Amino acid sequence: MKLQLLKLITVLTVFTFSTTAKECDFSKPEITLPENYSSNLEILEIATRALSFSENGITYYTDLSELQKADRRKKKTKSSPAYLDAVGRIKTVLTNRQVSYCSGTLISAIPGQSSRVIKSAGHCFGNTETESKYDIKSITWETTTKSGLKIVKDLNIEELNLERDSAVLSFNGKIPFSTIKPALIETELAMHPSEFIRYDNQTTVISAGYSSDNLKGDNGKTLTYDDQIRAQEFINLNAYDRRKFGVQTVSFSGASGGALLVDVDLSYEDIDNPYKQVYYVGTTITLGYDTKYYKESSSSTSAGSASTNYDSYLGVDDRFLNELNK
């Protein structure tokens, strides 16, 4: 299709140049159009429309070549870091039998502590415009550990803030620390997530979630992650609200509620992390602003972009978290 489109554009360009050349001679030649000219124009129009379409006032591009160049995501495998086990897939079933999928992360505020608390995005469980909770029948969280152990937990909503697009959930019983190390909420430093990078040249920033694309996400069945995020790729969205920020990293629908993690040594600040847990610094909330949006086809339900927006960990109440994890 791309080759055919290129050929049609080439034909039109050459034809335009020929016409322009004649007009520069101040003559008005009679132009005989090729017999297939009209049909070629129709094909070109259809091909152009196929590269993008509008839906609910948003333009989506179906040519993913540009997005693929920016896509550094990897698929989670048995050789991937164990800290990714803390990021699971959330399935929400409504009373009307509708089903949606998001992501959610096992978190804790105390090093070495087992956890039963999941952090996710509020819009997975309610309407952020009307600030009304969905009529929910069930919520489950699922992850598979590096060792191959599949864990499925029924979740309860403990806190839902639809204004901030934030949700805290829990399940009965804790997952042993030896099975999954929760991502840590840092309570001693109140830093913007981008500031974690300055402490160590070996710092790794990771965006992880269950994107529902078919490029790498296997329609949401496989966790994908980008562990090559650099300091200059952080985006300041609002000078008056530093809790919302963006990062130049690819994500698709389904990654909502996912995690921005940082693997960093904070010993310079006398922060003790004896079990080498990663820090939880942000929750995936939306695709990026002021960017192109993509879908694999006009019938696809999964949208993606080359940048992603997050809600900072600073919005998590560590006292409430510790109470839930008693």
pLDDT digit string, tens, across residues 174-209? 999 999 999 999 998 888 898 888 887 789 999 999
Give domain 74-324's CATH architecture: Beta Barrel (2.40)
- Which value, to the nearest 10 degrees, does the dihedral of the CA atoms of residues 222, 223, 228, 230 take? 140
pLDDT digit string, tens, across residues 83-118? 999 999 999 999 999 999 999 999 999 999 999 999
What is the distance between the alpha carbons of residues 264 and 195, in angstroms, rounded to a whole number? 11
Q: What are phi and psi of 275, to 5 degrees?
A: -105, 10
Quick one: pLDDT band at residue 43, thresholds 50, 70, 90? very low
Domain boundaries, the chain: 2-55, 74-324
Residue 9: CB partners within 8 Å, gap ≥ 6?
44
pLDDT digit string, tens, across residues 294-310? 999 988 989 999 999 99
What is the distance between the alpha carbons of residues 107 and 134, in angstroms, rounded to a whole number? 24
Predicted TM-score (pTM) of this structure: 0.84
Q: What is the sign, positive or negative, of the torsion defined by CA atoms of 253, 204, 227, 306?
A: positive
Report the percent of the chain where pLDDT is more than 90.
Answer: 72
Quick one: pLDDT band at residue 18, thresholds 50, 70, 90? very low
Residue 320: is its pLDDT beyond 80?
A: yes
